[in-house]
Amino acid sequence: MEETRTTPQMKPPRWVGIDWGKDTHSVCVVDDGRKKLAAFSVPAAPQGYAQLAGELARLAPIGGIAVEATRNLLIAFLTGAGFTVYLVNPKMSKSWRDTVSIAGVKSDARDGHVLALELSRRHESLEPYTPGDPATAELATLCKDRRSLVDERTALVQRLQATLAQYHPAALAFFEDWTSRVAWRFLKKFPAPATLARARKDTLIRFLKSNRIGLKPIWLERIEHRGDALAWPLAPDANALQIKAEATVAQLQALQPHIDRYDTIIQEKTKALPQAELIATIDGAGPILTPELTAILTDPAASTGGYQALRTLAGAAPVTHQSGKKRHAAMRRRCNKTWRNTLHLFAFSSTKQSRWAKAYYDIRKEHGDSHGTALRKLADKWLRILTRMIEHNEPYDEQRHIESLRKSNSPVYKKLCEFPCG
């Protein structure tokens, strides 16, 4: 008699929503029928993560976990434990919450429940989070944090220049670049109009030589006119402004070594990524933008989806609104703002180095596009080129691209023909 074999019926997956918090994480679990199976909280601590793992193992199988976060230790724990994680945009989770309660009721437990409910019925249309290569993730974080420090430095320099304009405008005439360490040292040595006006000529010359500044005619002229510092009206709060300027210089001098450290580490990390060598072949990239572009193009969210996913994530693709015969394209605001800023900066830089990029930018301006819109469209063109370079492991060739524009009878090539050679 033949033996009949039976296999146990697989349980349907369970769906989890977690509303994370600084001290506790609220967890909710529902089944495929959207019935609540469990709701509990765990502390945001190692023992809480262990408790969470135990509860989820008891409720297995877990089809996926929805979390409203991007950079959180909870995400690292869940992905490391092998769970499928869905990162939910806060604006999307808010719209989900509004569909459940028109009153807009909000609480940690309720938010976790909404995430679980919506994940149970939307998981097929959502993209699960894929942890990237640690080296790529580290480079992306380094580039983002470096840019944040540079933004802080820019704000401090602007504050310093505004302060000097109020009580010591003669100092501003000595230096054009106030991100320069020499300019900061100059102000520390000559912090007031009187100290600059009464300084001996040979004192100023020694200062310039010690800071490796050659005695060009422009510097000798500035030294000769140092007495003009006293010709300006004396501000009634000059002493207070001087203290503010000295404090700002101290902040700049404390901040700059950390930016330098970021630059050194970023360059070392970039050398380990082969994609960076390809991107560096574009003249408009440079030592600062090459690592940032490398971090964008090697991000798993971008590399798996190709050009179309990348242009959406980076904000290069516009949002189209159409009603009847009316069609309007608007700037995409739900995107990675850091990526968008990097690509716009790269596009602008490329107009200084690339002939076709400058021609394309000019065409867009002639068609009535604003500066920002023209840069977005140019960035979109560069994204197609960059993704192709990475896919085919080919360096950039400006002449080859211009030749392709000629063969396709592109308006950009026609515009190039208007430019004088040289």
Structure confidence by residue, pLDDT tens digits, 62-119: 999 999 876 678 998 999 999 999 988 887 888 888 776 655 556 778 889 999 999 9
Write down which residue in 125, 157, 192 finishes a domain. 125
Under the banding of pLDDT at 50, 70 and 90, the label for residue 160 is very high
279 and 403 in a common domain: yes
* End position of a domain, from candidates 66, 99, 125: 125
Q: Rounded mean pLDDT of the chain?
A: 88
To which residue do tokens 């207070």 refer? 240
Q: Are residues 315 and 291 in the same domain?
A: yes
- Is residue 91 assigned to a domain? yes
Residue 133 included in any domain: no
Dihedral angle sign, alpha carbons of residues 154, 157, 163, 164? negative
The SS3 assignment for 234 reads coil
Q: Domain of 361? A: 274-320+331-416
pLDDT at residue 314, rounded to an integer: 81
* Residue 358 resides in a domain: yes
Residue type, 208: L
Alpha helix ranges (H) inside 322-408: 337-353, 355-366, 371-392, 398-407
- Residues 328, 89: Cα–Cα separation, whole Å: 25
- Residue 8 forms part of a structural domain: no
Do both 282 and 241 map to the same domain? no
- Asked whether residue 421 is assigned to any structural domain, the reply reads no
Domain presence at residue 132:
no
Judge if 226 and 150 occupy the same domain.
yes
Residue 422 lies inside a defined structural domain of this protein: no
In a domain, 300, yes or no: yes
Is the pLDDT at 2 greater than 60? The verdict is no
Q: What is the pLDDT of residues 323-345, one digit of tens each?
A: 666 666 667 777 788 889 999 99
DSSP track, 255-300: HHHHHHHHHHHHHHHHHT-HHHHHHTTSTTTHHHHHHHHHHHHT-H
User: What letter does residue 226 receive in the DSSP assignment?
Assistant: G
Q: Quick one: which of 14, 131, 3, 119 has its CA closest to 68?
A: 119
Backbone φ and ψ for 9, nearest 5 degrees, come out as -70, 130
CA distances from 236 to 160, 241, 243, 334, 394 (A): 18, 10, 14, 48, 63
Map residue 243 onto helix, strand or coil: helix
Please state the pTM of the whole predicted model.
0.79
Query: Domain check: are 50 and 121 in the same one?
Result: yes
Residues 219, 281 share a domain = no
Q: How many domains does the chain have?
A: 3
Residues 163 and 89 in one domain: no
Q: Do 296 and 399 belong to one domain? A: yes
Mean pLDDT of 143-167: 96
What CATH number is associated with residue 26?
Answer: 3.30.420.10
Q: What is the pLDDT of residue 319?
A: 73
Give the tokens for residue 92.
Answer: 């999307």
Cα torsion angle, 373, 388, 302, 262, sign = negative
Same domain, yes or no: 290 and 369: yes
pLDDT digits (tens, 9 = 90+) for 43-53: 999 999 999 99
CB 344 within 8 A of CB 383: no
Residues 205 and 287 in one domain: no
From 224, 248, 268, give the residue that closes a domain.
Answer: 268
Q: For residues 284 and 263, what is the distance between their CA atoms, to the nearest angstrom?
A: 18
Helix (H) or strand (E) holding 93: helix 90-100
Report the alpha-carbon distance of residue 356 to residue 359 in Å, rounded: 5
Do 312 and 212 have their domain in common? Answer: no
The rounded Cα 339 to chain-centroid distance in angstroms is 5
DSSP-derived secondary structure letter, 40: E
What percentage of the chain has pLDDT greater than the value 70?
91
Edge-to-edge strands, sheet with 62-67: 36-43, 24-30, 14-19, 62-67, 85-87
- Residue 242 and residue 151 share a domain: yes
Sort 267 into a burial class: Cβ within 10 Å, 0-12 / 13-18 / 19+. middle
Chain segment 173-225, per-residue pLDDT in tens: 899 999 999 999 999 999 999 999 999 999 999 999 999 887 788 899 999 99
